[in-house]
Amino acid sequence: MTIDMKKPLTLLAVLLTLAGCGAGGKKNAETVQPRKSVVVYYSQTGGTEKVAKEFARQLGLDTLIKVELANPYDGTYDETIARCQKEMEGGEVSPLKAPGVDVAAYDTVFLGYPIWFGTYALPIKSLLKEVNLDGKVVVPFCTFGSGGRQSAEADLKAALPNSTVLPSYGVRAARVDKAPAEITKYLIANGMLKGEVETLPDFSAQRKVTAEDAALFEAACGDYQMPLGTPDTVGERETPDGTEYMFKTKSAGPDGKESVFTIYVIRGKEEGAKPEFTEVVR
């Protein structure tokens, strides 16, 4: 995912400064977030944990809290899906295993989760029920198969009306190796690390997809296991990392209604770089 630096959140530095500067993390001359910060995350397969540890490393934080359920999701994939659907339909919330660290002692919570069913994973729902985050700055980050970052962010804001929820960082599970560089840009752009990032231009106006565009889309998205629709139009822009494309695709659902997806693809500057599917917004 390429972070758009066009509108940096200058308010964040003020919010984080006001949050306090007590114990809880290492001093770091290049870090401007308060020391009373903590990384809290749930990770089912290890991808979100890698991202959580990268946030902690770059911010110089010692404390990471892994969200664990008293009755964990330890069945097969199909069993886990069935259990999640049952719990969602019944409005069930599984109790947490005690974390051993008091989240209430921190002012800023970097909150990480995988995307399940288009929103944050159910164990985070358990966390929000059991832990009071009122008055805190919440910095969300997530991993996903194709998308859901924005919808999860909206759901998180709705669930935390008395918290300051900042724009989220997200990365596809297939691209977790790209997370360190992206996280650095995210932290700088949002006032949590010192440094400068380049302001990105707007995407060009959408135009009809050519055969070359369609081939690029197929190279980036063809091996994804779920249908993403047929590319119809595309816009593009040049970034420090390469050329980023914003495709609009059309897809007919089971009910016959047409859906339009926005799919982002980036192709690096290095010769022979393979285009990468970075995110879909449904």
- Please report the pLDDT score of residue 33 as a whole number: 55
Element (H, E) at 80: helix 77-90
What is d(CA 114, CA 72) in angstroms, rounded to the nearest whole number?
Answer: 15
Q: What's the pLDDT score for residue 241?
A: 94
| Statement to judge: residues 185 and 223 lie in one domain | no
| pLDDT for the residue 255 | 76
Residues 179 and 213 both lie in one domain: no
Q: What is the CATH number of the domain that holds 99?
A: 3.40.50.360
Among 170, 181, 178, smallest CA distance to 144 is for 170
Q: Among 5-14, 28-37, 164-173, 247-256, name the most confident range.
A: 164-173
Based on the fold, state whether residues 154 and 213 are members of the same structural domain.
no
Above 90 in pLDDT, residue 266?
yes
Copy the structure tokens of residue 199: 């302001």
User: What are all long-range contacts of 191-194, with beta carbons under 8 Å and residues at least 24 apart?
Assistant: 191/8, 191/9, 191/10, 191/12, 191/13, 191/16, 191/32, 192/12, 192/16, 192/31, 192/32, 192/33, 192/59, 192/139, 193/30, 193/31, 193/32, 193/58, 193/59, 194/30, 194/31, 194/32
Burial classification of residue 225, based on how many CB atoms lie within 10 Å of its CB (0-12 exposed, 13-18 middle, 19 or more buried): exposed
Confidence at 78, pLDDT banded by 50, 70, 90 = confident
* Amino acid at the residue 185: K
Are 214 and 179 part of one and the same domain? no
Highest mean pLDDT among 156-160, 224-228, 249-253: 156-160
pLDDT-based confidence at 91, cuts 50/70/90?
A: confident
pLDDT of residue 11: 38
Which of 189, 216, 250 corresponds to the end of one domain?
189
Which residues, including other chains, have CB under 8 Å from residue 2's CB and lie 6 or more apart?
Answer: 182, 200, 239, 241, 244, 264, 266, 278
Q: Are 50 and 179 in contact (CB under 8 A)?
A: yes
- The answer to whether residue 150 sits within a structural domain is yes
Same domain, residue pair 180 and 48? yes
Residues 122, 168 share a domain: yes
Same domain (yes/no): 46, 142:
yes
For residue 7, which of 245, 194, 190 has the smallest C-alpha distance? 190
Residues 31-56: tens digit of each pLDDT: 655 559 999 999 999 999 999 999 99
Residues 61 and 25 sit within 8 Å (Cβ to Cβ) = yes
Q: Which residues contact 213 (CB under 8 A, 6 or more apart)?
A: 231, 234, 245, 247
The tally of domains found in the chain comes to 2
Q: Kindly state whether residues 184 and 213 are assigned to the same domain.
A: no
| 98 within domain boundaries | yes
Q: Are residues 169 and 212 in the same domain?
A: no
Q: Decide if 4 is inside a domain.
A: no
pTM above 0.75, yes or no: yes
For residue 102, being part of any structural domain is answered with: yes
pLDDT value, residue 75: 82
pLDDT of residue 253: 72
Q: Are both 87 and 224 inside the same structural domain? A: no
The answer to whether position 200 is within a domain reads no
Mean pLDDT of all residues in 9-34:
43
- By DSSP bridging, strand 108-116 and strand 119-120 are antiparallel
* pLDDT beyond 70 at 160: yes
Do 165 and 246 belong to one domain?
no
Question: Is 68 contained in some domain?
Answer: yes
Write down which residue in 189, 223, 256 finishes a domain.
189
242 and 132 belong to one structural domain: no
Q: What is the mean pLDDT of residues 160-183?
A: 97
- Within a domain: residue 14? yes
- Is residue 20 scored above 70 in pLDDT? no
pLDDT of 102-149, one tens digit each? 888 899 999 999 999 999 999 999 999 999 999 999 999 999 999 999
Task: DSSP for 248-282, please give it.
Answer: EEEEE-TTS-EEEEEEEEEEESSTTPPPEEEEEE-
Domain end call among 163, 189, 215: 189
Domain residue limits at 243: 207-281
Residue 86 burial by Cβ neighbours in a 10 Å radius (0-12, 13-18, 19+): exposed
Quick check: 188 pLDDT over 60? yes
Residue 21 lies in a domain: yes
Q: What is the pLDDT of residue 31?
A: 60
For 52-74, what is the mean pLDDT?
94
- Which tokens go with 167? 């724009």
Where would I find the beta strands (DSSP E) of the chain?
37-41, 64-66, 108-116, 119-120, 137-144, 164-165, 169-172, 207-208, 230-239, 242-252, 258-268, 276-281
